[in-house]
Amino acid sequence: MELFNIQQILQLCNKINMPFQMIDKIKENYNLINQAEIETYFFDLLNFEKASKSYEQLQQYTSKLDEDKVCELIILLGVATKTYDKYIEKGISEEIYIDTMKCFSRFVIETYKWTGKYDFDRGFWVWRQLCLILFRIGTLEFEILNIDDNIAKKFDIKESQVLSVHIPNDAICSNEYLKSSYKMAFDFFKQYFNKEYKFICSSWLLGQELDYLIKKDSGIYNFRKDYKIVEYTESNDYLQWVFNKFQGSIEDFIPKTSLQMAIKEHIMSGKKMTIGLGKLEK
């Protein structure tokens, strides 16, 4: 049984603006994959309850094929072509599908920015997009998330499901774009999932110290001002998302932006960075 073919993969790559360097690697590695060996769990990647385990099986298989996880990317793109069928069944537009699946290209570009290599390192995350629980709607992403009673109490809500807001690195965080994204997401989930969700977010963008480290006319300020924070947790997320680093000492980092300069001075003075957990108030 042919689960997918190279033409389908390349067509999707073109629609989501995959870098041509990765497309070349996809062409080179495609024939390394034996589809018969992944058939037993391939379609489980479309099922939220089975996807995590299925991804582990996928990792075990592809780890024997290449080190840069291009084969893993190929198979996940193959699953994405089946996800499109699910979109059609629910009546969701191709525009939302393409915007959501552009996560693959964005992750490849991010990894290149961080490492200088066209590898794929976000397979652990993208099954959410494949299972139709995470969507790019406007400038932001929204994930259907189950929360426990403890988290619900912190937010003073009764619902066991919320929308977890994610901020892609290409998000335009103007007041206009943010307001539009939240409105479209509320309407989208009400129409296609028959629920009116509360919005929450856990991010370094909501960190406590940013109150005095960012400018009042910045996109970060626009985003964070709409949230009521219920909890702060110490975190080094800023290394990856602000400095594009996974390791190293901040004293050796050369700031290129005003935010990098402000955070470096903050850390060098002995202070910490946090992530904030908040609920959308507007």
In the predicted structure, residue 11 carries a pLDDT above the cut 80? yes
Q: Mean pLDDT, to the nearest integer, of 166-195? A: 97
pLDDT score for 158: 87
- In order, the DSSP letters of the chain are -----HHHHHHHHHHTT--HHHHHHHHHHGGG--GGGTHHHHGGGG-HHHHHHHHHHHHHHHTTT-SS-HHHHHHHHHHHHHHHHHHHHHT--HHHHHHHHTHHHHHHHHHHHHHSS-----HHHHHHHHTTSEEEETTEEEEEEE--HHHHHHHT---SEEEEEE--TT----HHHHHHHHHHHHHHHHHHS-----EEEEEGGG-GGGGGTS-TTSHHHHHHTTEEEEEEEE--HHHHHTT--SSS-GGG----SHHHHHHHHHHHTT---EEEEEEE--
In the predicted structure, residue 218 carries a pLDDT above the cut 80? yes
Beta bridge partners of 227: 280
Which tokens is 126 given?
Answer: 């993208």
Q: Mean pLDDT, to the nearest integer, of 50-64? A: 96
Residue 26: which domain range? 1-132
On whether both 111 and 176 belong to a single domain, the answer is: no
In the predicted structure, residue 152 carries a pLDDT above the cut 80? yes
On whether both 157 and 110 belong to a single domain, the answer is: no
pLDDT score for 273: 93
On whether both 32 and 66 belong to a single domain, the answer is: yes
In the predicted structure, residue 83 carries a pLDDT above the cut 90? yes
In the predicted structure, residue 250 carries a pLDDT above the cut 90? no
Q: How far apart are CA 253 and CA 145, in angstroms?
A: 36
CATH number for the domain harbouring residue 251: 3.40.630.120
Pick from 132, 149, 177: which residue ends a domain? 132
Please count the other Cβ atoms lying within 10 Å of the Cβ belonging to residue 180: 15
On whether both 69 and 101 belong to a single domain, the answer is: yes
Nearest Cα to Cα of residue 275 among 199, 212, 167, 203: 203
On whether both 258 and 140 belong to a single domain, the answer is: yes
On whether both 46 and 121 belong to a single domain, the answer is: yes
Q: How far apart are CA 36 and CA 145, in angstroms?
A: 33
Please count the other Cβ atoms lying within 10 Å of the Cβ belonging to residue 212: 8
On whether both 274 and 159 belong to a single domain, the answer is: yes
pLDDT score for 1: 80
Q: Mean pLDDT, to the nearest integer, of 74-99? A: 98
On whether both 118 and 190 belong to a single domain, the answer is: no
On whether both 45 and 8 belong to a single domain, the answer is: yes
For residues 79 and 130, the answer to whether their CB atoms sit within 8 Å is yes
CA 164 to chain centre: 11
Pick from 132, 161, 176: which residue ends a domain? 132
Give the position of tokens 């072509």: 81
For residues 67 and 117, the answer to whether their CB atoms sit within 8 Å is no
Lowest mean pLDDT among 6-20, 100-114, 133-147, 240-254: 240-254
On whether both 12 and 105 belong to a single domain, the answer is: yes
Pick from 103, 132, 161: which residue ends a domain? 132
Band of the pLDDT at 247, cuts 50, 70, 90?
Answer: confident
Please count the other Cβ atoms lying within 10 Å of the Cβ belonging to residue 16: 20
On whether both 89 and 148 belong to a single domain, the answer is: no
Q: Mean pLDDT, to the nearest integer, of 77-98? A: 97
On whether both 143 and 237 belong to a single domain, the answer is: yes
In the predicted structure, residue 246 carries a pLDDT above the cut 80? no
How many structural domains compose the chain? 2
